[in-house]
Amino acid sequence: MAAGTLLEAGLARVLFYPTLLYTLFRGRVPGPAHRDWYHRIDRTVLLGALPLRSMTRRLVEDENVRGVITMNEEYETRFLCNSAKVYNWSPEEAVGAITKIRSHIYIRPGQLEILKEFHKEVTAGAAKNATYHTSQR
């Protein structure tokens, strides 16, 4: 790992808990400083911060959440949860949708590359399965 990458990873870990506390604070204050933990995109999708375990029951019962997609670092998920839903968006379209709804979100170039690789694998797998299912009929 290059020194710059190591420094960036270390700094991210150091800043994670203070920024988590800041996000929790912003979710509880009224007025213009308030920031919702999530926003509803449509009847099946919520977009927001990864839910804390304490939010799980409410999200399942009130919002009918059945899964969570995350691009978090492993150390960030200790207090949180995970799963998936498919939209036929390119990675760039997905990032555009995220930033349109939650403008404070910044997708780093490394995260976009991971998203592109994931998208490539999923679409290749879907195409292979579609070909397989078609040939079985």
Do the domain assignments include residue 66? Answer: no
Q: Are the C-beta atoms of 136 and 127 separated by less than 8 Å?
A: no
pLDDT of 134:
42
Q: pLDDT digit string (tens) for 13-24? A: 888 889 889 988
Q: Which residues form the domain of 129?
A: 86-137
Q: pLDDT digit string (tens) for 33-51? A: 898 888 888 887 888 888 8
pTM to 2 decimals? Answer: 0.49
Do the domain assignments include residue 103? Answer: yes
Segment 62-86 shows an average pLDDT of 67
Q: pLDDT digit string (tens) for 77-136? A: 666 554 444 456 788 888 888 788 878 878 888 888 888 888 888 777 766 655 444 444
Cα dihedral 36/68/93/95 (nearest 10): 50
Do the domain assignments include residue 76? Answer: no
Region of poorest pLDDT, from 17-26, 50-59, 64-73, 106-115: 64-73
Do the domain assignments include residue 15? Answer: no
Do the domain assignments include residue 34? Answer: no
Instruction: Report how far apart, in Å, the C-alpha atoms of 62 and of each of 37, 41, 67 are.
Output: 15, 16, 14
pLDDT of 29:
93
Do the domain assignments include residue 46? Answer: no
CB under 8 A, 24+ apart: contacts of 86-94: 86/122, 87/45, 90/119, 91/115, 91/116, 91/119
Do the domain assignments include residue 136? Answer: yes
Q: How many structural domains comprise the chain? A: 1
Do the domain assignments include residue 45? Answer: no
